[in-house]
Amino acid sequence: MARVILKPGREESLQRRHPWVFSGAVQGVKGNPAPGETVDVFSSAGQWLAAGAWSPHSQIRVRIWSFSPGEAIGEDFIRGRLEQSIHARSDLLSRDDFNACRLVNAESDGLPGLIVDIYDRFLVCQFLSAGAECFRNAIVELLAELVGPASIFERSDTESRTKEGLHERCGSISGKEPPELIEIIECGARFLVDVRKGHKTGFYLDQRENRLALREYSRDAEVLNCFSYTGAFGISALLGGAARVTNVESSSEALALAGKNSAHNGVPGNAFQSVEGDVFHCLRDFRDRGLTFDLIVLDPPKFAASASQIVPASRGYKDINLLAFKLLNPGGTLFTFSCSGHISPALFQKIVADAALDARRDARIIRYLGQASDHPIALSFPEGQYLKGLVCTAP
């Protein structure tokens, strides 16, 4: 195999089993590896460190497959990693109170760049790195064998593929075409999911446990659900006994599906209303009209896609949290989230604290939230902790 030689002193992260080698750490390459081809990584002193997938177009030049000397990276290796990932979710998959979860969570499951979600009998995959792309056909065949889904649909239509030098791709790759909407079950709630055009692979599976937590704070509450997408947090609040939910979302298509989800769960029309518009503008309008709420959910899209966007993203997070604190009734509860991996948990807490200070609210954190258990975070890969949430209350 081709060899990637690191600069002196740049081997420490691999010795601590971090799965990425950045371009700035590479001293040279022996051989001419193709994109996605497996390469050996050596220290400047000639010590073998790991084997990984070469990606010449990305700032992450090598994504590590294995730290075990002599382990062959091929179809048997991929099979083993897929089997481990599926087995790790066996308890979830055997439950009858929900039927959708993440089966493979990329680096944290030892399969860099690969996302696999299951919605009832349908799999949705994302091949987001050159290495995952290289094994694409084998992965599809193995998933069909190991899971036996009705179909496998690909949603490799994200910007991250462009950074890997790959074209975006979307469509069925195995089995029959999935239906326009797939019904999933989540602990008493039923949601219709559009895996073809919806956000991510169709639904925010990573928020499952946080939606359940929301029910605990919803009894008799007037709820404001911001960046509501297809209304999942709002419906969860109503199942927890909320009096009324107002959803705010800029996408008319998402709100239309939220309406279907509402009807699907037997929600009375007067208890579930939606406002189409920019959340920043709507929150200011609510403030100016003197509206207040007992429970507010802020679940915005990723504000910082790169490190260069941290400062403007921080301003955006502070703005919406400041407005939310102003709209929150005394003793009310704020569920606030960031899914930007470049915003650390400490920075996010500081942003929310500054927002509360400017709103003149003496807020307290009563609960920390994160991504669901089927979205694990490898201890050696802190970047895997992208979803951060705070539950705050203010007198």
Active site residue 339: yes
Give Cα separations from 47 to 15, 43, 376 (angstroms): 11, 5, 30
Measured CA to CA, the distance from residue 227 to residue 258 in angstroms comes to 12
With residue 335 as reference, give the H or E element that holds it: strand 328-338
Q: Please identify which residue in the block is written with the tokens 């499951």.
A: 109
Report H helices in the chain: 12-15, 75-88, 90-94, 130-134, 136-147, 159-163, 208-215, 232-239, 252-264, 279-288, 310-327, 345-358
Measured CA to CA, the distance from residue 339 to residue 328 in angstroms comes to 22
Q: What is the DSSP string of 5-49?
A: EEPTT--HHHHTT--EEEGGGEEEEES-PPTT-EEEEE-TTS-EE
138 phi and psi angles, rounded to 5 deg: -65, -40
Q: Which of 101, 134, 226, 339 is catalytic?
A: 339
Tokens coding 261: 């989800």
Tokens coding 257: 């599906």
Residue 52 · residue 65 · CB < 8 Å? yes
Task: Please state whether beta strands 182-186 and 189-193 pair in parallel, antiparallel, or not at all (unpaired).
Answer: antiparallel
Residue 214 · residue 335 · CB < 8 Å? yes
Task: Please state whether beta strands 114-119 and 26-30 pair in parallel, antiparallel, or not at all (unpaired).
Answer: unpaired
Measured CA to CA, the distance from residue 215 to residue 236 in angstroms comes to 6
Residue 248 · residue 225 · CB < 8 Å? yes
| Positions marked catalytic | 339
